[in-house]
Structure 1
Amino acid sequence: MKFAIALFSAAHAPSSRRALLFAQAALAGGHEIVRLFFYQDGVYNAAGSVVTPQDEQDLPKQWRAFVSDNQLDGVVCIAAALRRGVLNDEEAQRYQRSAVSVEAPWALSGLGQLHDGIQDADRLICFGGA
């Protein structure tokens, strides 16, 4: 089965951990993840600037390793990221900001990438949100 996964919750939310566990289990079960799309507060899962307390799991670090290790397509919604100050180098320069918090393996892109992922997948699985 091919999955597209959308994550709407910030890194400290339980649904972010559930999304990661689901994605790991999907790959372990022989399934394919065609796209991971981080939207709304989910963009914080891709932010290198998030500092996790020592007694908690560092989900942004775990997501980064998971996406890199499995060579997955991890897309961060550019509009949601900009609103939250989650910037890659290009956007930081464009908006004259000094902080860069998104680097490889993440790509900033629009909602069209979610739509394309849904078209390529058998199932869209969403975590978090209102």
Structure 2
Amino acid sequence: MKFAIALFAPPHAPASRRALRFAQAALAGGHELVRLFFYQDGVHNASGNTVSEQGTLDVAAEWRAFIEANRLDAVVCIAAALKRGVLDADEAARYQRPAANVQAPWTLSGLGQLHEANQLADRLICFGGQA
């Protein structure tokens, strides 16, 4: 089965860890992840400046390692990212900000990437969305 995952929660929220564990289990079960899409506060998972509390799981670092190890397509919604100060080098330069905090394996792109992922996948699974 082909899955697309949309994550709406920041790294410190339980939904982020649940999404990561689901993604790991899906791959271990022989399924395909067509895209991971980080949206709303989920964009903070892509920030290289996120620091977890001492003694707690660094979910953002685990996402990075998982994505890199499996060469996954990890897209961060550019509109949500800009609003939250989550910038890659191009956007930091464009908006004349002093630093970038997003780099590979994540890419900033539009919401159309989520729509496309939904079309490519058998199932879109969302974590952390508001009811």
- Give the TM-score, by structure 1 length: 0.99
Cα RMSD after superposing both structures: 0.5
Partner of 2:128: 128
Partner Cα distance (1:59, 1:111) in 2: 23
d(CA) in 1 for partners of 2:93 and 2:66? 28
The within-5 A match list for 1:88-103 is 88-103=88-103
User: Could you tell me which residue of structure 2 aligns to residue 78 of structure 1?
Assistant: 78
Instruction: Provide the rounded CA distance (Å) in 1 between the counterparts of 2:89 and 2:99.
Output: 8
Residue 50 of structure 1 is matched in structure 2 by 50
Q: Distance in 2 between matches of 1:27 and 1:35?
A: 12
Amino acid at match of 1:42: G
Unaligned 5+ segments in structure 2 are none
Cα displacement (A) at 1:45: 0.6
Q: How many residues align?
A: 130
Deviations 1:38-71 (A, max 9, x none): 0000000111011111211101100000000000
Identity %: 70
> What is the letter of the counterpart of residue 43 of structure 1?
V
SS of the equivalent of 2:68 reads helix
Q: After TM superposition, what 4+ stretches of structure 1 lie above 3 angstroms from structure 2? A: none
The one-letter code of the counterpart of 2:81 is A
Cα deviation, residue 21, structure 1: 0.1
Instruction: Supply the distance in 2 between the matched residues of 1:129 and 1:30 (Cα, whole angstroms).
Output: 26
Quote the residue 2:113 is aligned against.
113
Indicate the residue corresponding to 1:2 in structure 2.
Answer: 2
